[in-house]
Amino acid sequence: MLTFERPFLLPLLVLAPLCVLLGPRWRALHFGPRFPIATAGHAPFSGTPLVRRAGRRIGQCLFALGLSLVALAAAGPTLVGHRMLYLTRGNEILFAVDVSPSMAARDFAPTRLDAAKAIIGEFLNSRRNETVGLVAFGSEAALVCPPTLDYAALKKRLADLAPGMLGDGTALGSGIGLALAHASAKGAPSRFLVLLTDGESNAGTLAPGTAAELAARRGVAVFVVGVGSEGDVPINYVDPETGKRSEGSYRSGFDQSALEALARSGGGRYFAAGNAAALAAAFSALGEESLSLAVTRSVSTERPLAQPALAFALAVLVLARLLALATGGDFL
């Protein structure tokens, strides 16, 4: 925000436009001694009348701008900023997102995975001081982004997730285990692991229940969001390795009781998200539960702009004077 130490001087800004408007009358208003533009040993300006008039008008505009900047500098402009400092650490949230091929199903618009990425992005918009991390899993699990406060960087990596990028299986245990491995050992008031999946575990060596119980023992609550509807749903899948596109129907179905048991083992909750509205409701509940009670302090910063404005004003006035010398004008 721009403020002024001496705002009563701001009316002086109107003098500059007057100098331009009075242009042709400047000579008549020029009281006191006259200062000839021509210098000794130099021929007078020999340009065309059109060039002379254009140069004079440009010089007057520069002169007016220089005066405006001088008046602005005299008013003491200061750029004032405000920022919020968090004096306490927020909660930690880790997302484990299923990227198996079935996440290309189109019972969500445009796909299940796209809907999951969009709702995570909206969730990040409401965060302030919670560290958020991201793990993706298919047949294998991979760390996409370690817990961070740089939500912009996390969103960029989230956007790169694609169905099938980590194999054609669903290793729920590996996803939970890898997210747990990157959870902070201490410091965060509360820690949450949010698992988004549309299927049952069929890959990996770590049992999902075992991983969830381990998370609960370490103080990390496991929340499970079952994404998708049951029955035949359309699918449009592009194999990331071969580029081959497969279109048709996919028989969707997952063991909801197993996912509910997984959430209970992890000390969290299960959310059934069969459509976009249910998915939004699930994340609304997650947002309220994971919100940190932060201690904050507002800090103000001030950056004086008077000296830069005055320096620029002098440069503009010198340029106007040089233009007057070049065109034989007499407006200064």
pLDDT at position 154 over 80? yes
Whether residue 136 is predicted with pLDDT greater than 50 in this model: the reply is yes
Beta bridge partners of 222: 193
Whether residue 41 is contained in a domain is answered as yes
More confident residue, 63 or 31: 63
Q: Does one domain contain both 153 and 230?
A: yes
270: number of CA atoms within 13 Å, CB side?
A: 18
Tokens 């692991």 sit on residue: 193
> Do 223 and 148 fall into the same domain?
yes
The model's pLDDT over 263-308, given as tens digits with 9 standing for 90+, comes to 999 999 999 888 889 999 989 888 887 765 544 455 677 788 889 8
Structural domain span for residue 132? 88-290
Whether 246 maps to a domain, the answer reads: yes
Q: Same structural domain for residues 132 and 45?
A: no
- The pLDDT score that the predictor gives to residue 102 is 87
User: What's the mean pLDDT in 217-230?
Assistant: 88
Q: Do residue 147 and residue 273 come from a single domain?
A: yes
Q: What is the pLDDT of residue 298?
A: 59
Q: Please tell me the distance from the alpha carbon of residue 75 to that of residue 112, in angstroms, as a whole number.
A: 58
Q: Is the pTM of this model over 0.75?
A: no
pLDDT at residue 32, as a whole number: 43
The encoded tokens of residue 288 equal 């309220």
Residue 332 lies in a domain: no
pLDDT score of 20: 62
Please tell me the total number of residues recorded for the chain in this structure.
332
Ranges 12-21, 206-215, 268-277: which has the least confidence: 12-21
Beta bridge partners of 303: 79
Residue 43, number of CB atoms within 10 A of its CB: 7
- Which CATH number does the domain housing residue 274 bear? 3.40.50.410
Within this chain, do residues 142 and 240 fall inside the same structural domain, yes or no? yes
Contact status, residue 135 vs residue 143, Cβ threshold 8 Å: yes
Number of domains in the chain: 2
Task: Based on the fold, state whether residues 63 and 95 are members of the same structural domain.
Answer: no
Q: Are 24 and 109 within one domain?
A: no
Residue 211 counted as domain residue = yes
What is the separation of C-alpha 254 from the centre of its chain, rounded to a whole number of angstroms? Answer: 36
Q: Over 80: is that where the pLDDT of 229 sits? A: no
Same domain, 140 and 222: yes
- What amino acid is encoded at 117 in this protein? K
Q: Regarding predicted confidence, which is higher, 14 or 123? A: 123
Has residue 28 got a pLDDT over 60? no
The mean per-residue pLDDT over the stretch 229-250 comes to 80
